[in-house]
Structure 1
Amino acid sequence: MEEIVTYVEMTALSELRASPPANGVTLERVDGTSPLIRSVQARIGEPYAWASASRSDDDWAEWLSHPLRQYWFIKYETEIAGIADFELQPGGEVEITTFGLLPEYVGRGLGGYALTLVVRQAWEVEPVGAESVWRIWLHTSTLDHPNALANYERRGFRPFRTRVKQREDRRCRTWDESAGLPVFDSGDPTFAERADEHKAFRVLPDDL
């Protein structure tokens, strides 16, 4: 699949344009050993072909062992509504490597305030190799939620780079070993076309 990747940045906390508060939305720090990190990221990322939706056990072990990565659950009241993680980088930079809401919380007006909380928290981390954090950055893609880039720009992020790349369609992510056929996700826009090529298929439940 072709995608356009846009990299955005913020170089001062004063550039943050905060969203109005959304009642019940908070952040909760979580240890990298929590098994929920993997399941939450996979559920969020599967519709958008995120790498986290198809990482192997070894890839996850490497990802979660990074000593300079922090994990935060986005909570709605008492429930997990999404996740964010930061990677602290040398020279006072912080990359937001993951930000997203679970499918059942998308479209409920929570994303703007959740991002506001995440950005504020990113500015408050202990910097690496610098006296203070001076830059927060992340990237998004045309395969992400259609409102993703607009949400980042509304919060004050500025694009500084774009590139076009090809990405494997990870939404076709497993096989029916007995039939030797792929298990397709009905949320994939090429679902019907590719299913016809194989002549036989089964559909994953929408909530997986």
Structure 2
Amino acid sequence: MQVTITFMRMTVAPAYPRFLLPTGWMLEHGVHPSVADYRYLQDRVGRSCCWWMRQAASDELLSRILAQRGTAIGLLREYSVVRGFYELDRRDPEDVNLSYFGLFPQAIGRGVGRAFLDGVLREAWRGPTRQVRVNTCTADHPRARQLYLQAGFRPVRQVDELWNVPDRLGLDIPAHLRV
């Protein structure tokens, strides 16, 4: 599949008023999922966007990533039900990468995405953070790029990549991305 990746960064912490999640929704920071639970989160959020890299990784590699100092995972919950997740890479506490962020399909369109991202960004800016980075691509949800722009990210560069997504993952490659 061929994608265009947009690399974005934010160099100033959010200065706008906090976006609040609806009643019954909450962010849970500092989660330590098992490899199986992590694969589940990746699949629920990323299946429709062809998130394949972590799904193709071995259990051993995922276990190392999850145990790595600086990997921070959190969940978005509606009451006790998980509705999304995020992953921050804080190995360099001054340069935080929002590695993964997204909603489960049943949470999309319910007006929680902006507040979810706001809560994650405020978590990312805790500490000596000087910038937060994220990248999005043409396989992501069509509103992802606009959401990042609204939150204060600015594009740095774009690159075109050809991804050889393993058939064994059973992902449906959208027609507009097939080569």
Q: TM-score range by the shorter chain?
A: 0.7 to 0.9
Question: What is the deviation of 1:16?
Answer: 5.6
Check whether the contact 1:17–1:154 (CA below 8 A) recurs between aligned residues. Answer: no
Letter in 1 for 2:149: E
Q: Distance in 1 between matches of 2:74 and 2:145?
A: 21
Residue equivalent to 1:70:
72
Give 2:2's aligned amino acid. Answer: E
Distance 1:88 1:166 in 2: 28
Partner of 2:5: 5
Query: What CA distance in whole angstroms lies between the structure 1 residues aligned with 2:37 and 2:14?
Result: 33
CA 1:91/1:110 → structure 2, altered by over 3 Å: closer, same or farther?
A: closer
Match of 1:189 in 2: 174
CA displacement at 1:77 relative to structure 2 = 2.1
Paired residue for 2:168? 173
Any unmatched runs of 5+ in structure 2?
A: none
User: Equivalent of 2:130, from 134, 142, 160?
Assistant: 134
The number of residue pairs the alignment matches comes to 174
Q: What's 1:178 paired with? A: none
Question: Are the counterparts in 2 of residues 6 and 163 from structure 1 also a CA contact under 8 Å?
Answer: yes
Q: CA deviation at 1:161?
A: 1.3
Which entry has the higher C-alpha Rg, 1 or 2? Answer: 1
Letter of the 2:80 partner, please give it: T
Paired position in structure 2 for 1:28: 28
Superposed CA RMSD: 2.3
> 1:189 is aligned with what amino acid?
P
Identity within the alignment, %:
26
Evaluate the alpha carbon distance shift between residue 63 and residue 42 of structure 1 in structure 2; reply closer, same or farther with a 3 A threshold.
farther
Q: CA deviation at 1:68?
A: 1.1
**Higher relative contact order (CA closer than 8 Å, sequence separation 6+):** 2
* Partner SS for 1:13: coil
What runs of 5+ residues in structure 1 fail to find an aligned partner? 127-131, 175-183, 194-208
Distance 1:46 1:59, change over 3 A: farther
- Partner of 1:108: helix, strand, or coil? coil
